[in-house]
Amino acid sequence: MPISLDGLRRFAVGRSLFPPTSLKRALENLGFVQADPIRAPARAQDLTLRHRVKRYRAGDLERLYSTLDIEEDVFVNYGFVTRSLHALMHPRADRSRWARGRRSRAQALVEFVRERGEVHPREVDAHFSHGTVTNYWGGSSSATTHLLDDLHYRGVLRVARREAGIRIYATRDHTRGPVDAAARRAQIDALVDAVVGIYAPLPGASLSSLVSRLRYAVPQWRGELKDALQRAGERLSHARVGALDWYWPEDEGVPSAAPQNTVRLLAPFDPVVWDRPRFEIFWEWAYRFEAYTPARKRKLGYYALPLLWRDRIIGWGNVSLENGELHADLGFVESSPPRDRVFTRELEAELQRLREFLGLKAPEV
């Protein structure tokens, strides 16, 4: 039976929103969870994991971080990666040469961290007082914090844990890179397979875009990603549906199971909705993340969560806490919610799951 767009959409939802399991297994299944500092009503990483982890509570990832086999690092974005995926990205070669003064400051900082075991950026500031630099957003930030971030990205330091949301750093043991060109290609292909495993099924343009974004994960191999994309196109399972070529892991088939009667409010960076071009293909409307959009120009809201019903994203919700109670302001693509008792029941069940996730009491009736 030919593969249809409806089948691909159900495949995308079903394979990503797998049955809830333990936090460890969910992280192994995903490989990577994108992080975001905004809490509305919880951070994106927590909103992503709550659908996939049994009895998950907001903040569990940060609380349990040091007991899990994961690292904070850059993949296609910043987030949490399994150590097996982390190992594929390192060592990141130093392709730029630091000036002598910066190199000596970096070495002194690493020695400082090594002597103390773990350090808070405030301790580094107090010890070195390197001044300020202009950060990515155009504002001023501590030069020592900037240097810590740089050393973390290069793999010299790692995030040992967080304290009130602040990264606590430790030194990191170096790993050995691939010994020859064949081993390097195999490592790059494994990274491509990992990113496809998270976001598949992918239209060809999205596959190309995601492979290109691996330049952040492996800047030392950015020149080899074009060839890696070509190998992926030959290796992955694929089909032409309509005018587009679609790709997914080579060991997976597209199932024909019907979608579940479930309502979910998804994080803005959940793998189901992350690829905005695919989103528009599947659901025929444009979702935008508007937290950094001026309020007067927002159409969906500050932190609109896509609203999934069965295998359709039919709207969005802005969720807030007021006086210890959950409030959900919902919007719908078709102007009004489905006239369906099952939808109404499942929406309330999803809001109750959100309350439990946030540690709130059920509303009184």
Provide φ and ψ at 311, rounded to 5°: -115, 20
Contact 247, 196 (CB under 8 A): yes
Q: Look at residue 131 and tell me whether its pLDDT is greater than 70.
A: no
pLDDT tens column, 216-240: 999 999 999 999 999 999 999 999 9
| Tokens standing for residue 293 | 């959009």
Amino acid (one-letter) located at 318: N
More confident residue, 134 or 321: 321
> Is the pLDDT reported for residue 140 higher than 70?
no
Predicted pLDDT of residue 173 = 82
pTM for the predicted model, two decimal places = 0.93
pLDDT given at position 321: 93
CB 90 within 8 A of CB 176: no
Q: Which residue has the higher pLDDT, 144 or 30?
A: 30
Please return the burial class of 111, using the count of CB atoms within 10 Å of its CB with bins 0-12, 13-18 and 19+. exposed
- Written as six digits, the tokens of 71 are 């690292």
pLDDT of residue 287: 97
Q: What is the mean pLDDT of the chain?
A: 93
Question: Residue 50: pLDDT above 60?
Answer: yes
The tens digit of pLDDT for each residue in 118-128 reads: 999 999 888 88
pLDDT of residue 132: 65
